[in-house]
Each structure stands twice: as C-alpha cells, then as structure tokens.
Structure 1
Amino acid sequence: MPRGRGCVRPQRLSRSNTARQPEPASSATRSQQPSNRGRKRTAEVPLEDFVDERVSQTNAVEKIQRISSGSRSATSPSPRIPLERLRFRARTLLQGGLAPNTRSTYDTALNAFRIFLSEYNLSLQWPISIQNIVFFISYCFERGMASKTITTYVAGLNYFHKLSGFYDISKIFMVSKLLEGCKKSRKSHDNRAPITKQVLKILCDMLPLCCYNAYETRLFTTLFIFAYFGLFRISELVVPKVLESRDVLWNSDISIIDNSKVLICLRHSKTNKTGVPVYLKLPKEKDNLCPVNALSNFLSMRPKTQGPLFIHNDSSPVTGTQFSAVLSKCVLRARLSFGCCYKTHSFRIGRATDLAIMGVPAKAIMKAGRWNSDCYKLYIR
C-alpha cells in the first residue's frame, strides 16, 4: 500500500504489549467484584464476617496457586493446617486483642447505633456514611448522654469499622470537632466517692451483718482489702459472668512471701496491651486491714480447687454483680453520707487519694495503679 497523508502504518503488537492490555470486563464479572460502596454487612457479627470474607479470598488465591504450581513437586515440611482452624485462630486472636469489658462496651455502642438507625428508618450499611455518624453524635447528645459516653460509642463504631477494612472515623475532621464540642458543652463530673482506708474499715466492720455465714464474711473482707491496697479494677478480681473466668486473678497467681508480703501475678489487665504479666507486691500492714493476714485467713477456708481466687464455698466464682450488691448493703448498713456515690471503682479512687495525701511520688502512684498517663490525677479527691 502506498504511503501518504491519511494512511496509518499498522503497528505490530508484541506478546508483552498484548498481555498488558486487559480484556473488558463483562457486566457479570463486574458484579462479582467486591466493592466497599453500598455494601451491607450483618451488624451482629462484623468480626466473624470480616474473618470469613478474608478466608474466602484465601481459598480463591489457593486454587490459583495450585494451578500455577502444578509442575512443581516441592513437599511442605509440615502438614497443611486446615482453613477452619486458621479461621478459628484469627477470631480468637482478634478477640484476645481487646479486653472483654471493652468488647462488651463496643457491642453496646453498636447496638445503640442500630437503635438510632431504626428510630429514623435508616439502614445499617458498611462503610457507615459520615452523615449518619454526625447525626448519631447529635442524637446521643440530645438524649442527655455524657461526653465520655458519646466518645466511647464513637470509638466502638470505629473499632468495627476499621476491623472491616474501612476508613478511620476518628480521623474525620467534623467528627473530632463534634466530640470536642460535646466535651466543652457538657462537662462531666465524676461523682464517685473515694473509699479511703478509714471508710474501708467501716465497710469491713459491716460485712458480718451483711453476709450470711463466716466464709462469705472472710471472702468479701479479703476482696475489699485487695481492691483497696492493690488499686484493682473490679474486672481483675471477679468475673463479669459465671462462665467467664479466664481473665481474673487465679489462686495460682498469688503467693505469700515470708509472711511479709503478697506477690501477685496479674496476667490480664485493661491497659496491658503486650500480654506480659505484671507483678504486684502488697506489703504487710500493722493493723487489722492487712492484705497478708486477710489472704492467709481466706486461703485456710477456701475450697482446694484450681481456678479463680475468689470463689464461694460451692466453688462458684464471685461475679461483679455480687460484689456490687454486697458493697451496696455495707454502705447502706453503715449509713454513709453520699451512699449512692460509693461504687466498685471507689476502692481504686480511695487508695490513689490516700497515697497522694501521704506524699507518695506521682510515678509511684502511676506504677501502683498501672496507669500509663497522668489520668491518675482524675482519681485523687
């Protein structure tokens, strides 16, 4: 063909050039491709959905690898682990990365968000639209929730959001400013009263009148004394539910050294992100409120079974509800002022207050209470 203006010389396509040009995807193929936009997820189990989706993607990749590596005869040094076991392990690892109480709080946040959506006939879709998050924050504020509660709820939504592979809600400028506005517009006040050593003695004196036998009296006396001197969170001492006992203090975690101090191995804690046990020492006191004597007397009566340290005479573990109920009975019996303000966290608040009054350095108070920041100041009354 003669060359001239308007004539285009045909180009030869090499194999490499041909391979780079993707074939146009059909409508059926495009509909099968995952997309974050408009995707709906089951709200009850976002964690399991997330793991199951990743496992299904792994199945597809595994099939391709088997086809592409059919000519190779390499043998694996160990048997192949079933995907069901990997899926189970992924779930347990994800759950282990979050304290049980925090996970329960985040579940409550998700449930509150679902209630908000149903009230306004909105559907729960992942990723969550920024507009719905903004309305949810305003909704919580109008319902009279404290700014800390609203911030916690948003953190719970953000946890499930990021777990599903979506954007970080906390990085949205409007969200951060709304939370800041909630904090400035509705300043919360912690009205929990401190259980100081003086109040602790009054409560322990009330236990024989509130407990139905000598064993229960000794059990809760030791619990009260440990909660105070160890600055324990209630979740570190007693179980939230009867069937959940792996994260609390066990009898194998404690020992009495030379009848002069109690050595405690705290395996699980709210602020312990590394999983490395923390060791605490409770020295002997000269008065009746002594953790060494209280523990020694309790162990002499405790059933000889392995498991949670604080158990009833029938070997069932003490729950958080039972602890709160006994504390309320003692406060009511003692007729303490502001009785409704004494909560389970009051032991921790009272010990921090006493240490500050005694002039204990700030770093020592932080270490005793396992605080990682100066938030311990909020506990000093």
Structure 2
Amino acid sequence: MPPSKRKARAAPKPAKKRVNTTTRATSQTPLPEAMDSSAPSQLLDNNNAVIDYDQLAAAIIRQQQQAATFSSPVEANPAPAASGSTNGECQPFINTLQQFFSGSQEICPMVGPTASNSTRSSTIHLSQSSMQLLKASVSTSTKQLYLRSYTLLHKFCAIQNVPFSLPFTEVLICNFIGDLFQQGYSPSTITSHVSAISYLHKLCNLPDPTHSFIVRKTIKGTHNLAKSGDIRLPITKSILIKLLSALHHTVQEADTRVFLSTIFLLAFHAFMRLGELVARSSVYNTKVIQRQDLLFLDDNSVQHILRHSKNMKDGQPIVLTLAANYINPQLCPIRALKTFTSLYQHKSGPLFTFKSGHPVNHSFVAAQLKHAI
C-alpha cells in the first residue's frame, strides 16, 4: 500500500483521542439529569471537537450545590421545625386556660393579658358543658395551688433569663426544683409544684417532661436531703386527755378554754379536719361548720351538717350524728357542745366565735394547740 495513503488515514487519530477524553471526563463526573440530552452541544465545539472546561466545571458545581440543598435541611435543622410545631399546638389552649382558671384571686402569667388578640381568638372550641365539666374536675384550692406554682416558675424563668413557654425542658424543671429546695420548700410542696407543671402539659396535650428519669431522681434527692421527716403524730385518746388538761395551764380565759376544748373533742370524735371547723381567712367563713347546722336531737346525741369538705365529690352535704360518752364524761363531745352553746348563744354564722362575735381563725387554734403540746 502506498505510504501516502497511510498518512492520510492516520490524520483523524488525534480527534478520536479527544472524543474519548470527553467520554472519560463525563463518566467520571456525572452531570445533572436536566443536562444529559444537551451535554454534547454545550460542552463541545462541533467545529473543533474541543471540551469547554468552564461549562463542565460550572455543571459540576451546580450538581454539588443541588445535592447539598436536598440533604442539609434534613440533617442540620430538625429541631426548629419541631419547636415551632409544638408552640403552635399549645397556642389554642391559652384561651381555654383563661376560662379554666377564671374567678381565681391570683393571676396566672401563662394566660395573662400578654397574649395577642389573634392568639385569643384561636380556641379549641370546647362547649359550655364540657368546659363546666373540666372546671369541676379540679377543686378551687387545687386551682389556686396550680396558679401559685405557675407564678413561682414564671419568676424563676425571669431571673434565669429563659423563656417562659411550653413545653418546659427537663433541665429547666430540675433547676426549678433545686431553686425551690434552696429556698427551704419541703419535698412535699416541691412535688405539688411539679404536679402543677405536669397538669399544664397534659391539659395542652404535650409530652409530660416531669415524668422523665432525671426529674424524678431530682425530686427523690429532695426527700433524701431533707433535714427531718414528718414528725406529726395522730391524736390518740391519751394525747387528747393531756391536751385538755394542758389548756388549764396555757390558756387563762375560761371562755377560750371552753371553745378550744369543744374544737378538740369535736374534731376527734367526728374525724373532722381543723379547716372544716375554723376558717383560715374570712373568705372561708361560710365553708366551715355553721351554728344553724348544729342540732341537738336529745340529751344523748347531736347532729351537725357538713356542707363543705375536701373529699366531697358529689356536692351533697354530709350529716353526722354523735352520741354521748357516759363512760368518760371528760371526753364527751355532747357535754362539751352543750357547755359551749350555753356560753356562746349566737344563732347563725360560723359555729366557733370569740365573745366579740368574730369567727375563730385557724391560726389562733393552731397556735394554742402548739402551746398545749
């Protein structure tokens, strides 16, 4: 074969190598799907069959940016989305909490006037009857205790410069428990405040952080480090006799000794709490036993009606009848009540009053009991 023909056929070889180089470059770095059909026209000059490396580099950079865009939101920031969702779920309950705690003497900062009008208009649409049932599930005293707990937590968050919003974290609750313990709160009181936080999360249908391991162990630590346990003892018959005898040494006024003895005997024989006999404040004067609710059936028995009690669930008054104790007249409640009503002849209002007519308060009786003990 003539040499000239061999040279003519060998001329296209460099172009083939460049095409193969293009194939190797594109196979090593895959291009986006949107560019597959147009890649030859974009990356090659048809006249010279040369790779446009600037466009190739730009395509690779765009592909890497697209991969980072699809992967980074899932891996980097899951928490803010969950937090915003949680706060949104809790917002509709603000109006419900306002209605639920309405009428209380204290103001709960969680449901105070700081909420916007748009927030208040977003309710969970509880009917009047269901809201009434929800209110009735918690006693007035428990509502006031819960509001007190929220107020303490709100002050703690303000001091620590942390947001006061649901849901509260386990660390915040543990630090709150530690702060209460440092202030001298008893373990039982701290547990009550934690229960209020738990109730609020359940009411807002949020996960309850107070049941976590670290919170429970922190509460357990308050019990272990408490200085002393509960030293209160139940009043037995022998202790009651000593108390009645001690009143002659601790109380000078005979009239005062009469109503104190009657209170002790009535509480002992009728299994009544001191708060059911005498009020802690004037607000509760109508909730203690009233004079018109005491009725002597005969010389041997007396009947009294208990209209308000901590454990009263159906709201129906409790009628109690006491019989005379002839074996030990010193401990007879009927005899004590007759002596008391002969000295204090008021016909209405709280049963136990001073000579001035003012109701006997809880703190006075508790102080006299402490002195007698």
| TM-score interval, normalised by the smaller of the two chains | 0.5 to 0.7
- Name 1:294's counterpart in structure 2: 336
Q: Greater shift after overlay, 198-207 or 107-116?
A: 107-116
- 1:274 Cα deviation (Å)? 2.6
The structure 2 residue matched to 1:282, chosen from 322, 338, 343, is: 322
Q: Greater shift after overlay, 258-267 or 177-186?
A: 177-186
SS of 1:248's equivalent in the other structure is coil
Q: Greater shift after overlay, 170-179 or 282-291?
A: 170-179
SS of 2:284's equivalent in the other structure is coil
AA matched with 1:252: Q
Which structure 2 residues correspond to residues 104-119 of structure 1 after superposition, within 5 A? Answer: 104-119=144-159
AA matched with 2:108: V
Rounded Cα–Cα distance in structure 1 between residues aligned with 2:93 and 2:163: 11
Rounded Cα–Cα distance in structure 2 between residues aligned with 1:110 and 1:301: 46
Change (3 A) 1:203 1:187: closer
- Name 1:44's counterpart in structure 2: 107
Which structure 2 residues correspond to residues 179-190 of structure 1 after superposition, within 5 A? Answer: 179=219, 189-190=229-230
Whether 1:326 and 2:343 are equivalent positions in the alignment is no
TM-score by length of 2: 0.58
- Name 1:98's counterpart in structure 2: 139
SS of 1:265's equivalent in the other structure is strand
Which structure 2 residues correspond to residues 327-342 of structure 1 after superposition, within 5 A? Answer: 327-331=369-373
Contact 2:210 2:216 (8 Å CA) reproduced:
yes
Q: Which has the larger radius of gyration?
A: 2
Rounded Cα–Cα distance in structure 2 between residues aligned with 1:306 and 1:115: 43
Which structure 2 residues correspond to residues 1-381 of structure 1 after superposition, within 5 A? Answer: 36=90, 44-45=107-108, 49=112, 57=121, 94=135, 97-100=138-141, 102-141=142-181, 145-162=185-202, 168=208, 175-176=215-216, 178-179=218-219, 189-286=229-326, 287-331=329-373
Change (3 A) 1:48 1:107: closer
Contact 1:238 1:320 (8 Å CA) reproduced:
yes
Describe the superposition over 1:284-315 as per-residue Cα deviations: whole angstroms up to 9, x where unpaired: 21221111111111112224242211111222
Rounded Cα–Cα distance in structure 2 between residues aligned with 1:237 and 1:298: 14
Contact 1:151 1:179 (8 Å CA) reproduced:
yes
- 1:226 Cα deviation (Å)? 1.3
AA matched with 1:193: L
Structure 2 unmatched ranges of 5 or more: 1-86, 99-105
AA matched with 1:297: T
Change (3 A) 1:154 1:46: same
Structure 1 unmatched ranges of 5 or more: 1-32, 62-85, 332-381
Rounded Cα–Cα distance in structure 2 between residues aligned with 1:161 and 1:316: 43
Rounded Cα–Cα distance in structure 2 between residues aligned with 1:246 and 1:213: 27
Rounded Cα–Cα distance in structure 1 between residues aligned with 2:286 and 2:119: 28
> What is the number of equivalent residue pairs in this alignment?
275
AA matched with 2:367: A
Change (3 A) 1:240 1:54: farther
Rounded Cα–Cα distance in structure 1 between residues aligned with 2:319 and 2:274: 17
- Of structures 1 and 2, the one scoring higher in RCO (CA 8 A, sep 6+) is 1
Describe the superposition over 1:308-339 as per-residue Cα deviations: whole angstroms up to 9, x where unpaired: 111112222111111112212323xxxxxxxx
